[in-house]
């Protein structure tokens, strides 16, 4: 299996190259760009400033701006320069702020990781017991009612649920309980540690709920189906024939085998929550995470930040996929990807 995992790890490089290359050249073809965005800002400057609102920039100034952003170089050369920097994790500097992209990502990454980890934890803590309950009560009215509820939660988009939660429970809403934006209260840095932890948890409630609502359905049904499959196997019938109670059969025989699949799907669940739910939730709740950073970069045509966040997301996603497959093989030795 060692050769298989080495090949999987080495395949990260061509995959990264292909994704970055496609996005780099497609974005270059899109209308607008950093120079045009800056030109529009300069041309719409307030009266009395250096640039008048109705004045066009001369060719010398435009050439200087292109040289400053590196657009005076051929497109393939700019792409190779970017790849050379990415090889050493030098992601360049933001066009708008001049801050190194790695610094911006390091500042925003804890927010996205916090949301993703807490959301995944809550989904697992609720979905696994609910899936076991549905498997034990398969076909009952409670099974059907809970299935309708989680399917409805899955069908509601995260951003729509976030807006509903803000209107219902946000400050200024119908029941103003939770804060509307950020993860901390201004000035809370001077508070005692218990108060800061409570404040942080209070800010996390609404965005975490918005991100987890759609994740219950998949994991709950996966848990239910895994338990139902194990319940029909011979070793369960043997355990019952030996007089083992239903609780012992469920917890000591079925759970360890069914949990293999659930544990191995953890990286994929985290990746799904981070990549599909975080962006809109971060925008709606004004959370300075990686999703919001990438959104701002797109609006400002800040290419280094756009490609830097794409690079980090792609790298993390590929590594999580490999980790998921590795967990499969560790938890169930019968799985042999190399043999397949």
Q: How far is CA 48 from the centre of its chain?
A: 45
pLDDT tens by residue, 220-241: 888 888 888 888 888 888 888 8
Going by C-alpha positions, the residue among 133, 138, 111 that lies closest to residue 216 is 133
Percent of the chain with pLDDT over 70: 86
* Cα 187 → chain centroid: 28
Residue 158 near residue 214, CB atoms below 8 Å = yes
Domains and CATH numbers, the chain: 28-72 (no CATH), 102-331 (1.10.3720.10)
What's the rounded mean pLDDT across residues 108-113? 84
Q: How far apart are CA 22 and CA 79, in angstroms?
A: 11
Contacts of 117 by beta carbon, 8 Å cutoff, 6+ apart:
270
Residue 335, pLDDT score: 64
Residue 109, both tokens: 């990454």
Place 336 in a pLDDT band, splitting at 50, 70 and 90: low
Confidence tier at 102 by pLDDT (50, 70, 90): very high
Phi, psi of 184 (to 5 degrees): -145, 155
**Rounded to an integer, what distance in angstroms lies between the CA atom of residue 290 and that of residue 140?**
43
212: closest CA among 289, 256, 263, 158? 158
241-259 mean pLDDT: 81
Read off φ and ψ for residue 178, nearest 5 degrees.
-110, 155
Q: How many residues does the chain have?
A: 340
Q: Output the six-digit token pair for 194.
A: 């218990």
Measured between alpha carbons, how far is 87 from 77 in angstroms, rounded to an integer? 15
Report the alpha-carbon distance of residue 331 to residue 340 in Å, rounded.
18
In whole angstroms, what is the distance from residue 46 CA to residue 248 CA?
A: 75
For residue 190, the 8-state DSSP code is: G
How far from 319 is each of 290, 325, 328, CA to CA, in Å? 18, 10, 14
pLDDT of residue 46: 46
Mean pLDDT over 90-118 rounds to: 87
Is the pLDDT confidence value at 159 over 70?
yes
Give 93's strand partners.
Answer: 100
In the 8-state DSSP scheme, what is residue 58? P
pLDDT tens-digit series, residues 294-325 = 888 888 888 889 899 889 888 888 888 888 77
Between CA 180 and CA 188, with CA 186 as vertex, the angle to 5 degrees is 115
* Secondary structure of residue 116 in the 3-state scheme: helix
- Report the pLDDT value the prediction gives residue 332, as an integer from 0 to 100: 66
**How many Å is the maximal CA-CA distance in the chain?**
91
Whole-angstrom distance, CA of residue 13 vs CA of residue 274 = 22
Cβ(227)–Cβ(131) under 8 Å? yes
Binning pLDDT at 50, 70 and 90, where does residue 37 land? low
């Amino acid at each position: 299996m060692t050769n298989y995992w080495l090949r999987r790890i080495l395949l990260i490089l061509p995959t990264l190259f292909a994704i970055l290359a496609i996005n780099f050249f497609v974005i270059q073809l899109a209308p607008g760009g950093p120079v045009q965005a800056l030109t529009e800002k300069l041309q719409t400057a307030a009266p009395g400033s250096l640039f008048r609102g109705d004045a066009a920039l001369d060719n010398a100034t435009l050439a200087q701006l292109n040289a400053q952003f590196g657009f005076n170089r051929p497109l393939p050369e700019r792409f190779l320069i970017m790849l050379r920097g990415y090889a050493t994790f030098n992601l360049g500097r933001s066009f708008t702020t001049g801050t190194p992209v790695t610094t911006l990502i390091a500042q925003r990454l804890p927010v996205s990781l916090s949301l993703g980890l807490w959301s995944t934890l809550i989904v697992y803590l609720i979905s696994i017991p609910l899936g076991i309950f549905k498997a034990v009560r398969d076909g009952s009215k409670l099974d059907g009612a809970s299935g309708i509820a989680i399917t409805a939660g899955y069908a509601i988009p995260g951003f729509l649920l976030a807006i509903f939660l803000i209107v219902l429970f946000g400050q200024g809403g119908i029941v103003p309980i939770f804060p509307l934006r950020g993860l901390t209260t201004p000035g809370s840095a001077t508070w005692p540690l218990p108060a800061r932890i409570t404040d942080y948890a209070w800010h996390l409630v609404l965005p975490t709920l918005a991100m987890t609502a759609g994740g219950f359905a998949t994991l709950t049904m996966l848990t239910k189906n895994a338990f139902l499959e194990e319940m029909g196997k011979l070793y369960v019938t043997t355990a019952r024939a030996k007089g083992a109670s239903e609780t012992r059969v469920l917890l000591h025989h079925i759970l360890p085998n069914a949990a293999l699949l659930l544990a191995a799907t953890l990286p994929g669940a985290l990746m799904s929550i981070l990549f599909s739910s975080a962006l809109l939730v971060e925008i709606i709740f004004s959370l300075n995470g990686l999703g919001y950073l990438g959104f701002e970069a797109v609006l400002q045509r800040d290419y280094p930040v756009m490609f830097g966040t794409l690079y980090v997301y792609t790298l993390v996603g590929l590594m999580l996929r490999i980790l998921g497959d590795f967990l499969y093989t560790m938890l169930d030795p019968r799985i042999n990807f190399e043999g397949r």
